[in-house]
Amino acid sequence: MKKRILTLGILSILLITSCKKETAKSEPKAETEEITTAVPDEQPSVAEQAAETQDSVVTETSTETPVKVADAKKEVVKAVEEVKNEAVNKAVQKSETVTKKVENIATKETEKATKVVESVTEKTSTVKETSQKEIDNVTKEAEAVKEEISTPAAKAPKQLTQAEKIARGKTLFTTGICKNCHNQTKKLIGPTLVIIGSTYKKKKGRIANFLQGNAKPIVDPKRFKMMKPNIDDVTRHMPIQDLEALEAYIMSFAK
């Protein structure tokens, strides 16, 4: 860039110098004219000779100077164009550099986002597999209970004492699917047997009717959707004697 500016300066100096030369060469013509006027008529040959010489010099100067000026102008224009082109090239190079940096940043961010998505997808798959295993286990237990209660040997006697009902109910509770969601005194997914027994005692409800699907839930109704599949698939198919035994066992925890 500095070289281009220096070239422009030199060309400008050449233009100024050429113009000064043109002015200096045109001045002798006036002096010659004055001399010609002052010389007597008896020496016309000397005046004419001086005039012809001056005209020749002026003609050569006037012919040569425009050519040099034109050439100098061309050089100036050329130098200006080169400076412009150089500036444009530098701007383009800077723009390309910035574009590459932006592309690199975008690529890195995309890679990070892809890794996050892959990680979330992997975790989701793991959770799905775990949930499916739990569902399969519960289903197997439910089928086992259904098979157990469908056999005559598993049916409770028609007439049982209260103590026998409680004992039978405890066996059904601890070997069936009830224990997956309920505990005697510790809250799991569902309420404890203490809360269930106390609530039914206070509201004078029948647990056996609820397990048959013939009564609305009165303990934590908002979570009934979780309990309903067990009623539809298991407890409603159990003999009434077993449901009464479960009821007796749960009510034994009532306060």
| pLDDT at residue 31, as a whole number | 45
Q: Does some domain include residue 127?
A: no
| pLDDT at residue 26, as a whole number | 53
Choose between 26 and 184: higher pLDDT. 184
Measured distance CA(173)–CA(74) in Å, rounded: 107
Residues 162 and 247 in one domain: yes
Number of residues assigned to the chain? 255
- CATH value at residue 169: 1.10.760.10
Q: Does some domain include residue 113?
A: no
| 185 φ/ψ angles, rounded to the nearest 5 degrees | -130, -10
Residues 159 and 237 in one domain: yes
Q: For 35-80, how does the pLDDT look when each residue is reduced to its tens digit (9 = 90+)?
A: 444 444 555 555 565 556 555 544 554 555 666 777 877 888 888 8
| pLDDT at residue 211, as a whole number | 93
The string over 20-48, giving b where at least 16 C-beta atoms fall within 10 Å of a residue's C-beta and e elsewhere, is eebeebeeeeeebeeebeeeeeeeeeebe
Which of the 8 DSSP states describes residue 157?
Answer: P
Q: Does some domain include residue 226?
A: yes
Q: For 178-225, how does the pLDDT look when each residue is reduced to its tens digit (9 = 90+)?
A: 888 899 999 888 899 999 999 999 999 999 999 998 999 999 888 888
Q: Output the pTM of the full model.
A: 0.40
Measured distance CA(167)–CA(36) in Å, rounded: 155
Q: Number of structural domains, the chain?
A: 2
Which residue range forms the structural domain that includes residue 26? 1-37+53-86
Residues 78 and 160 in one domain: no
Q: Does some domain include residue 148?
A: no
Choose between 143 and 64: higher pLDDT. 143
Q: Does some domain include residue 104?
A: no
Q: Residues 192, 211: contact at Cβ < 8 Å?
A: no
With tokens 């449901």, the residue in question is 243
Give Cα 240 distance to the centre of its chain.
60
Measured distance CA(92)–CA(98) in Å, rounded: 10
Q: Does some domain include residue 70?
A: yes
Q: Residues 155, 242: contact at Cβ < 8 Å?
A: yes
**DSSP per-residue letters across 32-67:** HHHHHHHS-TT-HHHHHHHHHHHHHHHHHHHHHHHH
Query: Would you state the structure tokens that stand for residue 143, as one six-digit string?
Result: 């089928």
- Weakest-pLDDT range from 22-26, 83-87, 131-135: 22-26
| pLDDT at residue 94, as a whole number | 83
Residues 160 and 245 in one domain: yes
Residue 25: band (very low, low, confident or very high) from pLDDT cuts 50, 70, 90? low
Q: Does some domain include residue 47?
A: no
| pLDDT at residue 57, as a whole number | 47
